[in-house]
With several copies, the nearest count.
Chain A
Amino acid sequence: MRGVFVAATLFGLMRIRVDYFAFLRERAGRAHETLDTGAATPRELYRELRERRPLPPGKGLKVAVNDEFRNWDWSLEDGDRVVFMPPVAGG
């Protein structure tokens, strides 16, 4: 019980905005959403999102946090904007 309390304090829920583009937007059925999550990294966040949205596996996707490319193990902070991106196809 005490362990759970400490974890909740140190690693409390964060409010994260997630934006979806292109194929992922269609799969998610929305362009963005905001959620309160315990996910500490984009990897954990995507795992959580896949539980509620019909999103594809993360392999091949890229991640941006606050409009910068970041890796899947980047430490998220409260208020971050996270974007998961399908392989690009410009040009």
Chain B
Amino acid sequence: MSDFRISADAIDQAAELAALEDTASGAVACFCGRVRNHNEGRAVAGLQYECYEELAVSEGARVIAEAKERFGASRVLCVHRTGDLAIGDAAVWVGVAAAHRNEAFAAARYVIDEVKKRVPIWKREHYPEGPAEWINAP
């Protein structure tokens, strides 16, 4: 199974964490992005993620390989949701196991930043009032 995955189902953080087990790694840093009930001052009712899966998976795997290479992280996993998400649902999860916390934090930060910049996934926000909108639409 790839270290970067797209999932139409809820993210099981306990299972992801278990997959990071590694007796040589003293530090695990995780990040989870969740659906907030507001964005830029506007109430949000839910989200929808759409993904270009073939390219998302290959670009996501590149991001993870870079994180391992740059920070010497021993394990790096990332999973991103697609489909309809409710408030509080996990949209993306990143987990890193490394020897020390510097590397673990830096690699986790790198992965979430690059995924948000580079991986072809798009978010559509639903609002209590007004039509849904694609974020960053040109």
Contact = CB atoms under 8 A, between A and B. Distances in A.
B137 A23 contact: yes
Contact of B80 (A61, A67, A68, A90): A90
A19 interface: yes
A90 B55 contact: no
A2 B23 CA distance: 69
Contacts of A64: 52, 55, 120
Interface stretch (A6-14, A45-53, A79-87): A79-87
Contacts of A91: 33, 80, 91-92, 112, 115-116, 121
25 contacts: A19-B52, A21-B51, A22-B50, A22-B122, A22-B134, A23-B122, A60-B138, A64-B52, A64-B55, A69-B55, A69-B59, A86-B136, A87-B138, A88-B117, A88-B118, A88-B122, A88-B136, A89-B116, A89-B122, A89-B123, A89-B136, A90-B49, A90-B51, A90-B121, A91-B91
Interface of A: 19, 21-23, 25-26, 56-57, 59-62, 64, 67-69, 83, 85-91
Given A22-B122, A26-B134, A90-B115, 17 more contacts: A19-B52, A21-B52, A23-B134, A23-B138, A25-B50, A56-B137, A67-B58, A68-B55, A69-B55, A83-B55, A86-B138, A88-B120, A88-B121, A89-B136, A90-B51, A90-B80, A91-B115
Most buried by A among B118, B122, B123: B122
